[in-house]
A and B are shown apart, each in its own frame.
Chain A
Amino acid sequence: MEHYLEVKNLHYYYGQIHAVKGIDLYLDEGEIVTLIGSNGAGKSTTLNTIAGLTRSVGVKGEILFNNKNIAKKSGNKICKLGIMAVVEGRHIFSQLSVEENLYMGAYSRKDKRNVKKDIDEVYELFPRLLERRNQMGGTLSGGEQQMLAIARALVNKPKIILLDEPSLGLAPIIVEHIFEIIKEINTKMGTTILLVEQNSKIALKVSSRGYVIQNGEIVISGTSEELLNNDKGRHAYLGIANKEE
């Protein structure tokens, strides 16, 4: 069967360091899929490699999008294909205003006429950003920056969003809000989402399937329900989730 996005035997090397060791995963159109794993498991490396944001010399294996191999393409090309990454750690443009940040999200769009309307739509999802539209990105709080990073990706109208730890460092109530919005993006806009999380419980609640990654390898995969109830799975990743509960 053909999948929307399919990662086949993907490796990534940071020089000598073999960080991702032959991963297989796929996304079907309209799905939310979670990638879970503890610190240093290789989640961000996997996500960034799909997004073309790691150095191409370190990449081995295939990443098929609509059956075309996009591995080793540069990040800006992958963005133009409709795969948009929200990378770990709130990479927003600190000296651009909130609104300018959002406009940068639309940088690669051809239909510039509709961008204004789409930004207004995104403001509806994140009213907080509307209040702060003229504030410099760097002066936002951590939660607001995370919202801005997600909002900026939405303005691009991507086919697939890759989200790296959207809950990182946020208060539980904001985490819940963010996950509600993730769900909404998926149902309303039909965006396919790959979610990287350590906060596995809440992530598995919104996703349909998940993978557990350990030391650069997928150790378990299945439906979210299976993963939530899987003893072996709990062992592999819930150690972290327990701490956060």
Chain B
Amino acid sequence: MDFLKLVLQLLIPGLCLGCVYGLNGIGSALLYKGSHTINNAQGAIVGLGALIGYSIQQGLKIGLIASTAIVVVITFFIGVFLQVFIISRVERRSSMYVVIATLALSLIISSISMLTFGSWTFESATIIIHGSKYLHINFVNVDILWSNIIAIIISFIAMISIHLFLNRTSFGMAMRSAAMDSFAAESCGVSVVKTRAVTWGIMAALGALGGCLMGPLFGISAGIGIAMGNKGNTGAVLGGYGNMYGAIIGGLIIGMVETIFGYIYSPYQSAFTYALFLVFLLLLPKGIMNEKAIEEG
């Protein structure tokens, strides 16, 4: 019974972290697939999103889920805005410019967040059901945070929605086509300017969604997103760069591994996780879903 208890105590937070990394990884995978580049500003956008979420909770006196929904919409437009006014202009030169430009953006957004909100860690609204923050599971006598459970459920809903959007809707198909061959997509009537902007919107919104959902766990600060952005990217590489499903699986693996290492010896949590990631890359350089192999037929 104790073992089962331990498993549950690790599994749920691990899964929760993994989901959030997965949400961040989806964005990196879509971006890499479409533009062969990396968004270094993802973490900063996630942090900003979480802080906006906190302000909304305070200002409008609304709960976690409602405030998160608003943040998702706001960050979607922040993503679109950044792509249209900055990224699309530097992207023309080379994808390397985007790497550097987003690094600059990351520092700028982080500084603005810091100046506006200070360097405090705020307490996020959390999920309370039946008057308790915890779900008590009787037969193993374990308490699990409702906010963790809800975070996992919402993340899965978001992932399934993105999957359906990309595969079942006309604009989603256009986005996938443009990511495969922007030239051909444009010739078929797809506005690649639009699909790229929406890719950034989705990337920012999914990341911020993850950031908000993590609020009850870590508290909200400008720096909350940095690790999420990085680990989302790492998960995406682990999964096979450019493949969205690989990014989700990769994110889940990183979240689980990190949680287990944290339990074993927390000071080396991140070092162990990244070391394992490197070993994995050496053994399986193309990642789990081996995107290139699919591309090359």
Binding site for B on A (CB under 8 A): 51-53, 74-76, 79-80, 84-87, 91-96, 100, 103-105, 107-108, 136, 138-139, 152, 156
Contact = CB atoms under 8 A, between A and B. Distances in A.
Contacts of A138: 294-297
Contacts of A85: 187
Given A91-B181, A93-B177, A108-B188, 10 more contacts: A76-B186, A76-B192, A85-B187, A92-B181, A93-B180, A96-B180, A104-B185, A107-B170, A107-B189, A156-B189
A103 B173 CA distance: 10
Contact of B188 (A79, A94, A139): A79
A96 B193 CA distance: 21
Contacts of A53: 183, 186-187
Contacts of B177: 93, 96, 104, 107
B295 A95 contact: yes
B184 interface: yes
B191 interface: yes
Contacts of A139: 297
23 contacts: A53-B187, A74-B186, A80-B189, A85-B187, A87-B187, A91-B183, A92-B181, A92-B184, A93-B185, A94-B181, A94-B297, A95-B176, A95-B294, A103-B173, A104-B174, A104-B177, A104-B188, A107-B177, A136-B294, A136-B297, A138-B294, A138-B295, A152-B188
A83 B189 CA distance: 10
A96 B166 CA distance: 12
Interface in B154-203: 170, 173-174, 176-177, 180-181, 183-193
B292 to A, nearest CB: 12
Most-contacted residue by chain A among B184, B185, B190, B191 (CB, 10 A):
B184
B188 A105 contact: yes
Given A76-B192, A138-B296, A51 B187 contact: yes
Contact of B184 (A74, A93, A100, A103): A93
Interface of B: 170, 173-174, 176-177, 180-181, 183-193, 294-297
A96 B175 CA distance: 12
A92 B297 CA distance: 13
A92 B184 CA distance: 7
Contacts of B170: 107
A162 B250 CA distance: 43
Contacts of A75: 186-187
Contacts of A96: 173, 176-177, 180
B33 to A, nearest CB: 9
Contacts of B184: 87, 91-93
A76 B191 contact: yes
A105 B173 CA distance: 11
Nearest to B178: A93
Contacts of A104: 173-174, 177, 185, 188, 190
Contacts of B193: 74
A5 B261 CA distance: 67
A53 B193 CA distance: 13
Contacts of A136: 294, 297
A74 B189 CA distance: 9
A84 B174 CA distance: 16
Contact of A84 (B187, B191, B192, B294): B187
A177 B139 CA distance: 72
Contact of A76 (B190, B294, B295, B296): B190
Given A76-B192, A104-B173, A107-B170, A91 B187 contact: yes
A107 B188 contact: yes
Most-contacted residue by chain A among B176, B180, B187, B193 (CB, 10 A):
B187
